[in-house]
């Protein structure tokens, strides 16, 4: 895949591998312009469609995961450019349709759209240098890619309001305490830990992994009763797979499961 604003690699040596996407506009601290978001969407779709890929990792640089949407690109926008042209719905929505797990490996700034992009991933592993924030209010706007919705779900209303209204940043330790990130690791270990997490997912039955992702996401939509029924039906369905037979047989025979992805 030939891109200008991101780098893509395939990592890992197992039967299924990891699609690694590195945001790569270092001079602009990975500010997310339309071209980058189009490329990110194309890379996500390609990895999602590739049967050899089990998991996707998105990362940035040591200084910035992404410092937000590109302010230079937005500065002169009118209502016609935003509402009228349905501003960047196209490429910011792609990640929501990815069925395989997407892990964000975050070092440095994850601000505005950068924080929102990280929150769109299935979980965030942070370096101890990570800083999260929704500073849009300082620009006379509000978060526009899910920040006012995903942040309160992740950290609760008090901290979300504090961040969105005052624009203060949350460091990695606070982000872990608040539940925004799943793990914090020293910067030097960030990619090793994120890729190891991806590798551990790659070894599993991809069908059960996709259903697990779909079911956890369902917890944020609809009622508890609907979510529990949704989970139950997916659970029932997994007994139609060969991988369920293999996983349970391997446990009972004290051996490592060799999933066939069917």
Report, as residue numbers or ranges, the catalytic residues. 69, 113, 116, 136
Number of residues that bind ligand DAK (CB under 6 A): 21
Q: What is the DSSP letter of 60?
A: -
Residue 207 host element (H or E):
helix 206-218
* Binding of ligand DAK by 132 (CB under 6 A): no
State the pairing for strand pair 102-106/131-133.
unpaired
* Binding of ligand DAK by 71 (CB under 6 A): yes
* Binding of ligand DAK by 130 (CB under 6 A): no
Determine which residue in the list 39, 70, 122, 243 makes contact with ligand DAK, applying CB under 6 A.
70
* Binding of ligand DAK by 31 (CB under 6 A): yes
Q: Which stretch binds ligand DAK (CB under 6 A): 98-106, 132-140, 210-218, 251-259?
A: 132-140
**DSSP secondary structure string for all residues of 216-258:** HHHTTSS-HHHHHHHHHHHHHHGGGSHHHHHHHHHHHTTS---
How many Cα atoms occupy the beta-carbon half-sphere of 100 within 13 Å?
28
To ligand DAK, the closest distance from the beta carbon of 180 in angstroms equals: 17
* Binding of ligand DAK by 69 (CB under 6 A): yes
Specify the residue, 23 or 31, whose C-beta has the smaller distance to ligand DAK.
Answer: 31
Specify the residue, 107 or 195, whose C-beta has the smaller distance to ligand DAK.
Answer: 107
Q: Which stretch binds ligand DAK (CB under 6 A): 45-53, 84-92, 190-198, 250-258?
A: 84-92
In contact, 178 and 154? CB cutoff 8 Å: yes
> CA distances (Å), 171 to each of 107, 156, 200, 212, in order?
11, 16, 27, 29
Per-residue mark of binding to ligand DAK, 11-30 (x: CB under 6 A): -----------------xx-
193: three-class secondary structure by DSSP? helix
Q: How far apart are CA 35 and CA 33, in angstroms?
A: 6
To ligand DAK, the closest distance from the beta carbon of 145 in angstroms equals: 3
Q: What is the DSSP letter of 156?
A: -
* Binding of ligand DAK by 227 (CB under 6 A): no
> CA distances (Å), 167 to each of 45, 74, 184, 259, in order?
33, 19, 22, 46
* Binding of ligand DAK by 201 (CB under 6 A): no
* Binding of ligand DAK by 107 (CB under 6 A): no
Sites of contact with ligand DAK (CB under 6 A)? 28-29, 31, 67-72, 87-88, 92, 109, 111-113, 135-136, 139, 144-145
């Amino acid at each position: 895949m030939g891109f200008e604003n991101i780098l893509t690699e395939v990592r890992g040596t197992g039967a299924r591998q990891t699609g690694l996407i590195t945001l790569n506009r270092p001079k602009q601290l990975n500010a997310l312009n339309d071209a980058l978001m189009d490329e990110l969407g194309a890379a996500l779709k390609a990895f999602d469609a590739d049967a050899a890929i089990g998991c996707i990792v998105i990362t940035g640089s040591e200084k910035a995961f992404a410092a937000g949407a590109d302010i230079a690109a937005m500065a002169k926008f009118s209502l016609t450019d935003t509402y009228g042209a349905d501003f960047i719905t196209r490429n910011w929505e792609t990640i929501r349709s990815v069925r395989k797990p997407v892990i964000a490996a975050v070092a440095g700034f994850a601000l505005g759209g950068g924080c929102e992009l990280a929150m769109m991933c299935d979980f965030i592993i942070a370096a101890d240098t990570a800083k999260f924030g929704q500073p849009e209010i300082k620009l006379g706007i509000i978060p526009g890619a899910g920040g006012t919705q995903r942040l309160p779900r992740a950290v609760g209303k008090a901290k979300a309001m504090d961040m969105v209204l005052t624009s203060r940043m949350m460091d990695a330790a606070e982000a872990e305490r608040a539940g925004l990130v799943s793990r914090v690791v020293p910067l030097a270990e960030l990619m090793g830990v994120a890729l190891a997490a991806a590798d551990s997912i790659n070894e599993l039955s991809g069908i059960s992994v996709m259903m697990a992702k779909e079911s956890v996401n369902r917890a944020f939509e609809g009622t508890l009763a609907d979510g529990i029924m949704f989970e139950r039906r997916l659970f029932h369905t997994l007994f139609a797979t060969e991988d369920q037979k293999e996983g349970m047989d391997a446990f009972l025979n004290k051996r490592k499961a060799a999933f066939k992805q069917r």
